[in-house]
Structure 1
Amino acid sequence: MASEKKESHPLPDVHGARELPSVIVDGYSLQLRDKDGFIGDQASQTAFRTLLERWRQKRRRKGKDPLGGRHSKDLSKAALDEALGAKEASEAGDVVHAAIEEFAEELAWVIERFMRQPSWKGVERIVIGGGFPESDVGERAILQAAAILQDMKVSVELARICHETDDAGLLGWVHLVPPPLLAHHDAILALDIGGTNVRCGIVKMRMKRAKDMSKAKVLRREKWRHKDDKPNRKALIDRLAEMLEAQIRYCKKKGIRLAPYIGIACPGLIAKDGSISRGAQNLPGHWESDNFHLPSELCKRIPTIHGAPTMALMHNDAVVQGLSELPFMQDVTRWAILTIGTGLGNASYTNKQVEAG
C-alpha cells in the first residue's frame, strides 16, 4: 500500500521570511538611486515637510508667513488639515495646496520608478500606509498622485490602508506566525519599531471569526515616541522589554492564551539570521553591527512567556504593515505597499493561487 503523501506548507519560521503559506514577498526595502540620492527620500513625510518649508520661505520673502513662526517639521497634522480645509480661501491654504501638488508629483514619479523594477512588475494595486495618509493633507496628496499616474499612463490603483497605522504594523504579524502556534493560542505579542515611534501590542488572531484572520484585532497597545527621549540603543531595548512584560502581565491577568512568540518589525533589510543588513539608519545606535542581534537581546530579557521558551522573529516593517492587508488583496495577484513615514518603506507581493477544494 502506497504511503499517503502529506501536503507541505512553507513555515515562516525564519527571520525575514519571503515565502509564506498564501503569499510570496517578492521584494522589499528597495533603495533606488538617482543623481540626488535615494529616490524614496523624495516621497517621505520628511520630504513633504521640506517642500512645505520651501513654499513658506517664498511667502516670507514677500511678507508674513501665513502658517506662523514654527518650522514645518514641527507643525501638527491637525494644523495643516485646518489650513487645507478652511471654508474661505487663505494664504495658509494656498501654501499647503502648493506643497501637496508638488509632493504628489514626486510621489507619482517615485511610483513610476518602482513599477519599472522586476520585483514590482505587474503590480495591480499599491496600498499606501504609514502616518501620512491618516491626515486630510496626505489623503489629498495620494488622490492627486493617482490622477497624475493616470495621465502618465501608469496602470496601477492606489488604495489607502484599511487599518489605523498604529495597528497595521502589529496586525501583519498574524500572517507570519508559525502555523503550529496558531492552533493552541489566542494572541501574540508584536513590536513595530520606527524612526520616530515604537508600538507594542497584543494581537488576537480571532480565527473562529475568520480563518483568513481578516478579523484579527489589536487588543491592547502602547506607543512610545522615542524620538523625543533620544535613548541610546541599550535604553531603547530595555524599554521594549518593559513594554512587552507589561503586555504579558495583562494577558496572564485576563486569562488570554498568549503564544510564546514576539514579532519584531523594524526598518531595513532583514537577514535570515535576524541581523539587519542595511536601512536602519533612523534607529538610535548602530543596529547594523555584527555584534548586535535584537531578537536574542529580547529573548535574554524575556526567556519564557507563560512557561514556554520565547521565540522572537524579525521582519521589515513595511512588509509586516503590508501583510495586514493580505485578506483584502485576494481580488488581485500582484500588489505592493508604500509606507510614507519618516522614510519611505516599500514591499511587493504575489498571492499564491489557491485551488478550489
Structure 2
Amino acid sequence: MPLTRLPLEVERRLALRLPLPGHGAPLLPDVLVESYTVAFQQKGRFIGDQAARRVFFERIDAWRATVRRRGDDPFGDTPTESLSKKNLDKVLRRGDPAAAGIIQAAIDDFARALVTVIRVFHRRAWKRVTHIVVGGGFRGSRIGELAIGRAQVMLHDAGMPIALEPIRHDPDEAGLVGAAYLMPRWMFGNFDALLAIDIGGTNVRCGIVCWEENTESPSVDASLLWRHSDDDATRESVLDETIGMLKRLIRTAARRHRRLAPFVGIGCPGRIRLDGSIERGTGNLPGNWQSSRFHLPTAIHKALPAIHGFAPVVVLHNDAVVQGLSMVPAMREVERWAVLTIGTGLGNAQFCNTITSPSRKHR
C-alpha cells in the first residue's frame, strides 16, 4: 500500500522544524536551500533546456552545416556526437583556425542561451541572488569555462548585477565534496572521511571525501566512476554497480587508514521528499526511480556492511543542491547565491546564508 504523502510545501515547513537535516532538507547546517529544480516554460518548452550540454553540440552541428554550404567542413566526416570536449579543447587551443572558429561561434551561441536562462531565473525566482556558480560536466572543459566567461561579459553588458563563476572544485568532484555539508561537522568529529555518491544522467561517481588538518574545505581522496549511458543500464544495474563501488571504497579507506564515518551522502536528480523517495525529475536516469516500491537510501543502507560497528546512515538530496554545497566555504560572505549545473540536463538550486541554527555554532 503506497504511503500517504504530504504536499511538498507542508513537508518543507515541517523540515524547517526538525532538529537535524535529513533527506531533501531545506535547512542544512550552513545554508537554507530556498529552492531547487525550479522549472519555467517558455513557448511550451522548459527554459532550462536551452542551456543543457546537448545544445552546445547542436550549435556545433549547425555551424558545421553552414560552413559545408560554402566549402569543406574542417572536422571532415567525423559526426558531431563523436567530438569529445577534450578534442574540442585541443582544437580550440592549437587546431585548424576554421575548426576553432566553429567552436568559438558555438561558445558564443551557448553563452547567449545561458544568459537567457539566467535572466528568466533572476526575474522570476532569483531576484535577490547576486552570485551564480556554474557546475556540471560541461564546466569541466575549456569550452565550458569560456562559455561561462562570455556569459559573464554579456551579463555585465546588460547591466545585470550578477557575478558568474565556474564551480571551484573539479566538477567531477564537486558533487562528492558537497555531501560533507549535508550534516553538521560535529557529527563527524571522530572521523576524517565519509562516502559520497553523485548520480547523473551519464555517470555514477562514488568517492571518499576527507578533511585534512587545518583546511576548511574537504577534498576527494579516491573515487570510482561508471558511465552507465554507455551500457544498456537499468535502475537495478545502476544500484548494483553503485553498491559495488562503495564496497571497494570502504576497503580502500581501510588500506589508507582513513577513519571512515558510517555515513553516505547521495546527490541524485529530482525532487527529494522527506521520506527519501523521489517525487519527480529523474527522466534522464534509466528505469523508474520514482516508483513507490523503490527507495534508494534504504537499498544502499541494507546492502552496505557496518562501518566501525555501525550501520551507515544514508542521506539523499538533489544533485544540484549537493554540488552547490561544495561552494559553502567560498560563499560565506554572500547573502544569496545559486548554482546551475550544466550536464545531461540543467540543474539549479538557490541558497541563503542568513540563517541561525545551533549546529552553525559548532562549526
SS of structure 2 residue aligned to 1:162:
coil
8 Å Cα contact 1:336/1:346 also seen in 2: yes
SS of structure 2 residue aligned to 1:247:
helix
> Structure 1: how far apart are the matches of 2:48 and 2:275?
27
| Other-structure match for 1:257 | 259
String of CA shifts for 1:63-109, please: whole Å, max 9, x gaps.
3221122222221112212332247x722122111111111111001
Letter in 1 for 2:204: V
8 Å Cα contact 1:268/1:276 also seen in 2: yes
| Other-structure match for 2:124 | 117
Q: TM-score, normalised by structure 1?
A: 0.91
> Structure 2: how far apart are the matches of 1:22 and 1:328?
12
Work out whether 1:71 is the aligned partner of 2:76: no
| Other-structure match for 2:12 | none
| Other-structure match for 1:197 | 203
> Structure 2: how far apart are the matches of 1:289 and 1:344?
23
Letter in 2 for 1:45: R
Moved more, 311-320 or 76-85: 76-85
1:210-229 pair list within 5 angstroms: 210=215, 213-214=216-217, 216-229=218-231
Work out whether 1:167 is the aligned partner of 2:169: no
> Structure 2: how far apart are the matches of 1:24 and 1:285?
31
> Structure 2: how far apart are the matches of 1:44 and 1:11?
37
Out of 75, 98, 106, the position equivalent to 1:99 is: 106
Letter in 2 for 1:115: H
1:1-357 pair list within 5 angstroms: 11-86=19-94, 90-118=97-125, 120-206=126-212, 208-210=213-215, 213-214=216-217, 216-302=218-304, 304-352=306-354
String of CA shifts for 1:228-273, please: whole Å, max 9, x gaps.
1231111111111110001111222333221111111111111111
Aligned length: 344
> Structure 2: how far apart are the matches of 1:68 and 1:36?
36
Letter in 2 for 1:112: R
Letter in 1 for 2:287: G
The percentage of aligned residue pairs carrying the same residue is: 45
> Structure 2: how far apart are the matches of 1:189 and 1:90?
45
Shift of 1:10: 6.3
Q: TM-score, normalised by structure 2?
A: 0.89
> Structure 2: how far apart are the matches of 1:298 and 1:105?
41
String of CA shifts for 1:36-60, please: whole Å, max 9, x gaps.
4111111111111111111112222
Letter in 1 for 2:250: I
String of CA shifts for 1:200-248, please: whole Å, max 9, x gaps.
1111133x424xx32x121111111111123111111111111000111
> Structure 1: how far apart are the matches of 2:314 and 2:330?
27
8 Å Cα contact 1:264/1:313 also seen in 2: yes
8 Å Cα contact 2:194/2:261 also seen in 1: yes
> Structure 2: how far apart are the matches of 1:316 and 1:279?
10
Unaligned 5+ segments in structure 1 are 1-8
Unaligned 5+ segments in structure 2 are 1-16
SS of structure 1 residue aligned to 2:128:
coil
